[in-house]
Amino acid sequence: MSQISETSEKTKAPLDPKQVRNVKILCILIGISNILCVVLMAIFWSIYDYFIILGMSILGMAPAFIANAGMTVAGTFRGAGRPMDFGRNFLDGKRLFGKGKTWKGFFGGFLIGVAFGWLLVLLYPVLAIAIHAGQWALVKQVTENELLTIFLQPTTSDLFWRIILLSIGACLGDLIGSFFKRRTGRDRGESFPLVDQLGFVIVAYLLAYPFFPMPWYYFLVVCLLTPLIHVLANIVGWYLGKKQVPW
């Protein structure tokens, strides 16, 4: 997500129709992919599996989602901050990251992700009790042991590093995405399909995996749903004046 909005005027700048069309096409394709995922899981496993995997994967990856959104909030708080690349160019003569990536936004997003990550931990005991009391025999793929051991009852050390690495991984993923945006000649705010939506969550997942071994099918559901969540969050940010463009 872009961290600093240049849209301080009451009237927002007109959007590029081509980019709007591309984002719409991306949303349609991702929407169809999500529908197919639900149908296939319901056929080969059960609909219960899908909803449990969906809920647990979002809960588990929440620090990354919150940190990514927090970068925008922190980066636009009380004006612009110092750019992370200090205004320097890379070997190709283009900015390393761009002026939209600031130290304030990076570390602010990280701290917001960590703080909310620990707040969500308060839900774990309640969900663990619900799992013990639920009729999990109806579920074909998801097991009670998997839910408790990986998601809700990890060791204190694993939980600590999970939250830290998911939060910092999301911020690093966003920064890496900006680096490649500059290399491909894209301007700040220009759409970079899938890299914009999935870069932060992929880096966060890989970085935290040793302490959060979330199964591949959980991560697949996250990857299919994240682009839709990302676009919707950006639209809200755009309406609130925190985003230069709604993608």
**Rounded Cα–Cα distance for residues 109 and 105 (Å):** 6
Confidence of residue 60 (pLDDT cuts 50, 70, 90): very high
Task: State residue 40's pLDDT score.
Answer: 94
Q: What angle do CA 55, 56, 57 make, to 5 degrees?
A: 95
Task: State residue 246's pLDDT score.
Answer: 66
Residues whose CB is less than 8 angstroms from the CB of residue 120 and which lie 6 or more positions away in sequence, other chains included: 59, 62, 63
Residue 100 has pLDDT above 90, yes or no: no
Q: Please write the tens of the pLDDT for every residue from 108-154.
A: 999 999 999 999 999 999 998 888 777 665 677 888 888 989 999 99
Task: State residue 208's pLDDT score.
Answer: 97
pTM of the model: 0.85
- Hey, what amino acid is at 179? F
Provide the 8-state DSSP code for 57: H
- Tell me what percent of the residues of the chain surpass a pLDDT of 90: 51
Task: State residue 2's pLDDT score.
Answer: 44
For 42-46, 173-177, 202-206, 226-230, which range has the lowest pLDDT when averaged over its residues? 226-230
| Average per-residue pLDDT for the chain | 85
Task: State residue 24's pLDDT score.
Answer: 79
**Mean pLDDT, residues 168-185:** 93
**Rounded Cα–Cα distance for residues 229 and 65 (Å):** 9
What residue spans define the domains of the chain?
Answer: 22-239
* C-alpha 150 chain-centroid distance: 20
For 10-19, 43-52, 100-109, 193-202, which range has the lowest pLDDT when averaged over its residues? 10-19
**Mean pLDDT, residues 175-186:** 90
* Residue with more model confidence, 212 or 10: 212
- Within 10 angstroms of residue 97's Cβ, the number of other Cβ atoms is 23
Confidence of residue 247 (pLDDT cuts 50, 70, 90): low
**Rounded Cα–Cα distance for residues 86 and 89 (Å):** 9
**Mean pLDDT, residues 200-210:** 96
Residues whose CB is less than 8 angstroms from the CB of residue 229 and which lie 6 or more positions away in sequence, other chains included: 65
